[in-house]
Chains A and B, each alone.
Chain A
Amino acid sequence: MPISRFKSFRGTAILLLWLISATVFAQLNIEIFGGGASRIPVAIVPFADEGRLSQSITPVISADLTRTGLFRLIDPAGSTPHAPVEVVYSDWANRGANALVIGRVIHLSSGQVEIQFRVMDVATKSQLTGLSLTVPATQLRTAAHRIADVIYEALTGDVGVFSTRIAYVLKRGNKYALQVADADGYNAQSIIEYTEPIISPAWSPDGNQLAYVSFEDKKPVVYVQALTTRERRAVASFKGSNSAPAWSPDGKKLAVVLTGQGGSQIFLVNVDGSGLQRLSKSPGIDTEPSFSPDGRYILFTSDRGGSPQIYRMPITSSESSNAERLTFEGNYNVSPDYSQDGKSFTFIHRHNGQFNVAVQEIGSRQMQILTSSKFDESPSFAPNGKMILYATEINGHGILSAVSRDGQTRQHLTVQTGDIREPAWGPLPKWK
């Protein structure tokens, strides 16, 4: 199916990889567009003895790296070094690999698993990095994501996001579940389940809490819930509608949209529900706030100019009427999300009846459309700014998809059945 779907892309070479996980019968398909001359060629040799594990390590690493669009995986067929002395560098140079990942798995008597791996530089015939991890046999995917992070960081100099988590809403029948999963869609857990809709999950900056909107009380109310204790409280339950929570970077406040004072307007409220303060003042709709990483600005959607467009306002209340319009192409630009460096934002842009993920540089106002599907929603930047997670639709079903920042690589995360929507990419784990 994906082959015919993307055949229409003019002049782009298409590489389709099917990576089938050993334990879960889900298919992850990764679609890569463009020539890929700039991709780093890397060979990942299956680790010694990983076949005995309930979950092989290297397929997870390969999928993680491929999804970024920054790597070209070199087939290691026929050669299986596991230690530096076993590496014939000329062979890997002939295959076009710049880097080589080798390793082994040691089954400890405690039942735990030790994974040793090294990243070798083919040109200099030296080790770039290496690490040994010991994990319970139940955390092999977690270990694989950490290894992928180390490889990514060694080869790109950038921080890896494979050990992060995502939140989204899963609708099955008339049930709604707020779920948290690994960044690749696996290890999903329900945080809360309802028979009424849930929308707009938002991660606290420390990754310990989620804010979201629940309709369990016949109207939208903003809740904050702790992930470990599952304890939750209503932080915005004012007369009218309460929605669109966004955390301030210090985790102390939430921007929310309230309607009690007329229209839909952006307010600030402390995480405990106190200290309500109005931020936006317009006769129209102001919604979907997103904080700049330095906490000084808020991006939001407003129809004050006649159509929904993205604006930026300073957080200081004296200046908040002082909003600057950022989007000018088309008559429907919504759902902004700041990149972690504060220099760009991702959003949904409508054109020719399609809703697509776009990015725009704040300085140059340069806009780029990254997707070509019909109904994309809720784009959310990875914490390193290199990928964007979003919701899209295939055959009438909501699924999650990730696109690289340059639009060259897309992957559907189709791990679960049901309608998946409203994704939010979580922060980096604390040890990063």
Chain B
Amino acid sequence: MKKLLSIAMIVLLSACASQTTQPDGDEMAGTGDGMSGSELMGSESGRPSYFNQLNDPSNILSQRSVYYDYDSYTVKGEYRELVLAHARFLRDNPSASVILQGNTDDRGSREYNLALGQRRADSVRNMMTLAGARDVQIESVSLGEEKPRAYGSGETAWSQNRRTDIVYRGE
């Protein structure tokens, strides 16, 4: 499996190298400048330089969490821009990939919550693929109630735990 993956990565990388990605100025508005060709240029630390963009606090891409209402899996309007910005970033940086981790509060069955968290991660994935990110760039998974951001019971903690985190591979 690992071997297959690395072969796939090589194919993917060479495909990128030979193509000239021409960012559409309009659509790139959310992601700053046209850095899409830069994903192959490693920074000094060996990391792709697009991480600078992802971690720039003034860039919407530095926001990585989508929160949900109780018993809901719909990406709320206020998180739409955030998700679309990541989708465009993935579209324009084909070598970038993310793992989307859905989370729930801790009420009820752990396995059922795992399935509910998956539904949250899938909702973000679907939005991203519709906006041009490719399936191979996204893995949506669930952590269920196992990795709470806030401990304790009560709506304050629970609302923090009903979320999907966008984690870039290699970060």
**B99 at interface, CB cutoff 8 A:** yes
Complex Cα–Cα for A376 and B163 (A): 24
Contacts of B1 in A (CB 8 A): 237
Indicate if the CB atoms of B111 and A218 lie closer than 8 Å. Answer: no
Report the separation of the CA atoms of residues A376 and B12 in the bound assembly, to the nearest whole angstrom.
48
Is B110 an interface residue, CB under 8 A from the partner? yes
Q: B114 near A: Cβ within 8 Å? A: yes
Which A residues from 241 to 264 make CB contacts under 8 A with B? Answer: 241, 243-244, 257, 259, 262-264
Main secondary structure of the interface of A (DSSP, over half): strand
Per-position contact with B for A299-329: 1 when CB-CB < 8 Å, else 0?
Answer: 0010000001000000000000000000000
Q: Output the least CB separation between A311 and chain B (Å).
A: 13
Q: Chain A, 215-241, contact with B by CB distance < 8 Å: what is the 0/1 string?
A: 100111000000000000000010111
Query: Is residue B104 contacting chain A, with contact meaning CB distance below 8 A?
Result: no
User: In the complex, are the beta carbons of B108 and A287 less than 8 A apart?
Assistant: no
Provide the B127-151 mask, 1 if CB < 8 A to any CB of A, else 0. 0000000000001111110110000
The contact of A288 among B112, B118, B167, by CB within 8 Å, is: B112
Contact B142 A241 (CB under 8 A): yes
Question: How many residues in A have their beta carbons less than 8 Å from beta carbons of B?
Answer: 33
Q: How far is the CB of A362 from chain B (nearest CB, A)?
A: 20
CB < 8 Å: which of B109, B122, B142, B167 contacts A334?
A: B109
**Number of B interface residues, CB 8 Å?**
24
Most chain B CB neighbours (cut-off 10 Å) among A241, A262, A348: A241
- Asked if B115 lies at the interface with its beta carbon under 8 angstroms from chain A, I say yes
| Interface pair B112/A240, CB less than 8 Å apart | no
Cβ contacts A260-279/B at 8 Å (1 or 0 each)? 00111000000000000000
Find out whether the CB atom of B115 lies under 8 angstroms from the CB atom of A350: no
Q: A218-B167, A219-B141, A239-B139 are in contact. Are A197 and B146 (CB under 8 A)?
A: yes
Q: Which residues of B contact A (CB under 8 A)?
A: 1, 99, 101, 107-112, 114-116, 118-119, 122, 139-144, 146-147, 167
Q: Which residues of A contact B (CB under 8 A)?
A: 197, 199-200, 215, 218-220, 237, 239-241, 243-244, 257, 259, 262-264, 285, 287-288, 301, 308, 332, 334-335, 348, 350, 355, 377-378, 421-422
